[in-house]
Structure formats: structure tokens, C-alpha cells
Amino acid sequence: MTKIDTHRPESVLPTPSHTVGPFFGHALPFPGGGDIAPVGHPDTIAVHGRVYDGEGNPLPDAFVELWGPDPEGNLPTADGSMRRDPASGGFLGRNGVEFTGWGRIETDASGHWSARTLRPGARGQSAPYLSVCVFARGLLVHLFTRIYLPGDEAALAADPLLARLDPERRDTLIATEQGKGTYRFDIRLQGEGETVFLEFQ
């Protein structure tokens, strides 16, 4: 056993100061993290994109978390996004039946992420959207934003949040439709075209 003499400061090594990862790949990913929609559900959509830093470089070690209501606008109450094997403690993934509305996706080597979820329904006065939380290198605090789906211009125009933004900034919150229920949403942390991020108080 090694003992450290606390009366002799020179014998104590300093700890690293404020190391900010990225350590997300250690325990946070789980199988099926982006498979939020129940298998075979008719209202399934695919959402994907890339996470970029302030210089426009893709981030290969970021995390994107999604939350969303079901197609009727109800918030899910089902548990089970991360099931574990009772014997090994390993991740089993989802059961493919319940809709929890939540997913966690790590970006790949090219900064790309993708998820399958249910098309969100409108809640209150807001147009339908998915809530997003971003974890990435250099961020001491994670960032929140939204993904609105295009198509219903009246609902988007009446949305309380979007109505407060100028058109250029507003567009950073609206996904691009790519056909057959697929949408692209890139997240830019800084710089030109920076995504609008939200602060909750």
C-alpha cells in the first residue's frame, strides 16, 4: 500500500484541471439507442444529420438525445429505453414494442447520427417538434434545441418560439424533408448557420 505524506505537498501529484472529455463512449451508448419507434409502426419517421463544430468540422464523439410525444401529442410514460440483462448487466436494447419517446445516439466517425422515431403530434400552441439535447467536446453544459418538421406552414408560422426568430435563425430549427418520411437536421454548435439553442430557467 502506498502512503502519501500530506505534510509534504511536494509528494502529492496535481490532478488534471477541468478535463472536459469527451468520455461519452464509456458507459452512455446502448444498443438500439436510435430505434425509438416500435417495430413496424406506420407513423415511423427517420431523422438524421451531422454535428459540426464552430469551424465546420464534423464531431465524431458527440451525443444527441431526442425526446418526443406520440402522434397524438401525448407524452409517453412507458419505461424501457435501456433494458439490461439481469445476469450480466449488459445492455439488451429496447423491447421493440413500447414507445418511450426517448433515444440517445452517438455520432460516427463522420459526425453523423440517425434515429427512427414516431412523427410527433402537436402539443398546446406549438407546432409538432422533437426536443434535442447535445453533448459534445468543449461543452461544459449540454445544449438544448428543437427539431420542427416541415410541411404545415400555418402551424410553423403560429408556433410561439419560431415566431420570435428572424427567418434565417428560424430555419436552423426546421428539418429538411428528404422524402419517404426521412428528414435531415444538422446541428451547428457555433459559427455560420449556428443552430438556435434554448435556455431553460
Tens-place pLDDT, residues 151-165: 999 999 999 999 999
- Between 153 and 23, whose confidence is greater? 153
C-alpha cell at 70: 406520440
- The DSSP element (H or E) to which 155 belongs, if any, is helix 153-158
**Res. 16: pLDDT tops 80:** no
pLDDT band, residue 141 (cuts 50/70/90): confident
pLDDT at 122: 95
Question: 148, 195 in Cβ contact below 8 A?
Answer: no
pLDDT at 166: 94
Span 81-99, mean pLDDT? 82
Span 6-16, mean pLDDT? 57
Q: What percentage of the chain carries pLDDT values higher than 70?
A: 87
Question: 51, 62 in Cβ contact below 8 A?
Answer: yes
Strand partners, 146: 131
pLDDT at 178: 97
**Res. 117: pLDDT tops 60:** yes
Span 31-57, mean pLDDT? 94
Query: CA distances (Å), 176 to each of 23, 33, 44, 173, 186, in order?
Result: 31, 22, 16, 10, 9
Span 4-21, mean pLDDT? 55
Span 47-74, mean pLDDT? 95
- Between 82 and 166, whose confidence is greater? 166
pLDDT band, residue 134 (cuts 50/70/90): very high
How many C-beta atoms surround the C-beta of residue 158 within 10 A? 13
DSSP state of 144: E
Q: What is the pTM of this model?
A: 0.85
Q: Is the dihedral of CA 54, 57, 58, 63 positive or negative?
A: negative
Cα–Cα distance, 84 to 49 (Å, whole number): 28
Span 171-190, mean pLDDT? 96
pLDDT at 3: 41
pLDDT band, residue 31 (cuts 50/70/90): confident
Length of the chain equals 201
pLDDT at 200: 82
pLDDT at 92: 77
